[in-house]
Amino acid sequence: MEAYFVYIIYSQSGDCYYKGFSENPEKRLLQHNNKESRYTSKHCDWILIYLERFETKREALIREKGLKKYSKMQIGELIKSPKNIIVG
């Protein structure tokens, strides 16, 4: 069964977040840290801090679009929420 993910990564050196969509978030994180993404290429210390799973690509893309508008405070709350499937 296919799965689609919305993720948030954080760069400590830039003190910034990036929100994205992927079918393979671990591979996508490597691409960000290898400077294979134009928008995130300024930093290479990205860590995955939020992951949410969806059954359809459409649901994930809608969620990603909504997350793009989140403030740092809202992201902080989201990271602590039960929606975050990252354990730890």
For residue 14, give Cα distances in angstroms to 4, 36, 40, 47, 61.
27, 17, 10, 12, 25
CATH number of the 4-80 domain: 3.40.1440.10
Give buried/exposed letters for 13-26 (b at 16+ CB in 10 A, else e). Answer: eeeebbbbbbeebe
> Domain spans of the chain?
4-80
Whether the Cβ atoms of residue 36 and residue 87 lie closer than 8 Å to each other: no
Question: What is the spatial distance between Cα 67 and Cα 29, in angstroms, rounded to a whole number?
Answer: 18
pLDDT number for residue 75: 96
Segment holding 62, helix H or strand E: helix 57-67
- What is the pLDDT at residue 88? 59
Q: Over the stretch 20-75, which tens digit does the pLDDT of each residue have?
A: 999 999 999 999 999 999 899 999 999 999 999 999 999 999 999 999 999 999 99
The answer to whether residue 76 scores a pLDDT higher than 70 is: yes
As a whole number of Å, the CA-based R_g of the chain is 12
pTM: predicted TM-score of the whole model, two decimal places: 0.93
